[in-house]
Amino acid sequence: MRASGQWRLSTGGVLVPPQPDAEHPAYFHDKIERVRASLPEEVRDRPEYAADNHASTTRENPSSSADNRFNTYFAYCIAMELNRGRCVRRDSKREASTGGSLSELPDEVQACNGDRLSELPADLLLNILERVGTLDAVKTCILSRKMQKLPTMLSQIVIDLSSHDLVQMNGVVADVTDKILRTRSPQITIHKLKLKFFLSPSRCLSIGKSVGAAMVTQKLDAAEFEILSPRDLHLCTDAYRVLFAKQFNNFVRDCPDAFAGLTRLHLRNMRFGKSDIPIILSYCKVLESLSFLMCDAGIRSVLHVEHARLVELVISYGKFKTVELNRLPKLKRMTYNNWPYDENPLVLGVLPQLSNLSLGDACISQKTLKLSQLLATVPSVSDLSLEFRSEKIWIQPECPKALAPVLAKLRFINLDNLPEECDISWTMFLLEAAPSVEDLSITVWDHKCRQESQNSYSMKTDVKWEPSNPNFKHKNLATLTIYGFESDDNFMGYVRRVMQAAVNIKKVSLHDRKVCTLCTDKFPHADARPSSYPQTSVQKDSLRKKITEASSEASRAVIQFSS
């Protein structure tokens, strides 16, 4: 049965679209033909807009909804409309970008192709405009009087420009945000508000006041600020970081309503005072996600984090001596990258729901961490990701008896950027201690872009490990994935060992070494290890036979090589 009707407001004030029936492709094609008819002839007849082309898409993807396929198609149409008549619309675009009136435009603009779009139903236009970004939606709607109210009806307001574009348009973010939030109906729920902007006191104050007023007068499900510093990450001095932190503190104090309803916050390049971060968190009462990049509270400072609602925490490249997560009852995901000091970089306190833990560091010292100590208070972790930056292995293999209590619920293990010259057999200690693991993924790669030192190879010694039980069996491991596989004794022996231990393994995926164009450009004369990855089907079949011939259990698994 075909869906019909317009968008409607639910009893909770949520704007609900009509649901099309994906089993009626005629509905899909009727909508396409309506849009095609609105396009100029030279665009309408292009292959990418041909009706037959999209009919083929319908046949090839019967499980996807007709409405979603149409939305993708129509987004292209809007982009084409925006690119037409650039000379005619230049003045109007300047008017929009400077925050001018959205209602008074030259007559020749009113007569341009924007009116073709305005002939479509408002519910359909709203559905599509939310997919092209808020600024593009405003530019589209400014071309027609009939469409000028649509930006105030959007349920998603997303302004997420690149840093380069923000340099030119930071003021536009504040102006457009103010106009949309100030003139919209409080009956239409804002499901998502995401704003990226530079830390500029006057612009921040404008954004904060606009968002704060919306928090008080309207229903807003989720609000996100990503605040960039006016200085490049790696060129920012400590003095600038202190200044940016003071400016941000003022922003929080001047706009308490905005931060009281904020659910996601991303900060970078700030050096706070000792008590600043706890005070900021006290303002952000419903905060669910917090990200720090190049932020700290001083060299060798200790960060204490407590929050009743925080679900996700990401910290990268700070100068914290220790990060202590004291009491975070709802925290589920924690990421900590590049801690600068070896002694107790992370202390996990009361985190009853922590399930995803990601740690990454380029260790070039002799210090190693014991997972049995690090995870002693968080036996709930089910997804563990460890990133080694192609440097020394910084975790210490342990016996299953010491490690098993903290890894009992672990289901997914990801070991990323192990150095190429190290034996990988040591990773078996994780399988021995984690009987519930279903998926093990390993990437072996000397990724020079990520290495701390290009001369640190002497630090990369093999990890000493001996199996605790030569007859060890694992009943739950189903998938083994290796990137950077080589047809040498190191990898071949490891795959055989895992397949013999994992009695129920179903798939083994073996991939060639990853490639990074930045590494090639930055280090053109660096010697790369020759690859022994199988290239032909004959070589791949031969390796499959060598891997499985030693074990009848291994022959039941599917061994896949990348093409």
- Reported as a single tens digit per residue, the pLDDT across 463-485 is 878 887 888 999 999 999 999 99
Question: 235: buried, middle or exposed (CB in 10 Å: 19+, 13-18, 0-12)?
Answer: exposed
How much is the average pLDDT of 247-256?
98
Tokens 């970008």, located at residue:
97
Read off the pLDDT of residues 381-408 as tens digits, 9 standing for 90 and up: 999 999 998 888 999 999 999 999 999 9
Handedness of CA 286, 288, 293, 297 (dihedral sign): positive
The pLDDT of residue 446 is 84
Q: How far apart are CA 380 and CA 509, in angstroms?
A: 28
Q: How far apart are CA 227 and CA 230, in angstroms?
A: 10
The pLDDT of residue 515 is 82
Read off the pLDDT of residues 119-168 as tens digits, 9 standing for 90 and up: 778 888 888 888 888 888 888 788 777 788 888 889 999 999 999 899 88
SS3 at position 60:
helix
Question: 29: buried, middle or exposed (CB in 10 Å: 19+, 13-18, 0-12)?
Answer: middle
Handedness of CA 75, 76, 77, 82 (dihedral sign): positive
Read off the pLDDT of residues 49-73 as tens digits, 9 standing for 90 and up: 454 444 444 444 444 444 444 444 4
Give the whole-number percent of the chain exceeding pLDDT 90: 55
Domain definitions of the chain by residue range: 8-151, 155-354, 386-563
Q: How high is the mean pLDDT of the chain?
A: 81
Is the separation of the CB atoms in 109 and 143 below 8 Å? yes
Count CA atoms within 13 Å of residue 352 on its CB side. 4
The pLDDT of residue 124 is 84
The pLDDT of residue 117 is 65
The pLDDT of residue 88 is 41
Choice among 37-46, 130-139, 260-269, 495-504 with the minimum mean pLDDT: 37-46
Is the pLDDT at 17 greater than 60? The verdict is: no
Q: Is the pTM of this model over 0.75?
A: yes
DSSP 149: T
Choice among 62-66, 113-117, 229-233, 381-385 with the minimum mean pLDDT: 62-66
Choice among 94-108, 193-207, 418-432 with the minimum mean pLDDT: 94-108
Closest listed residue to residue 512, CA positions, set 490, 494, 531, 537: 531
Choice among 148-162, 259-273, 308-322 with the minimum mean pLDDT: 148-162
The CA-CA-CA angle for residues 553, 558, 563, to 5°, reads 145
The pLDDT of residue 225 is 98
The pLDDT of residue 309 is 98
How much is the average pLDDT of 258-282?
98
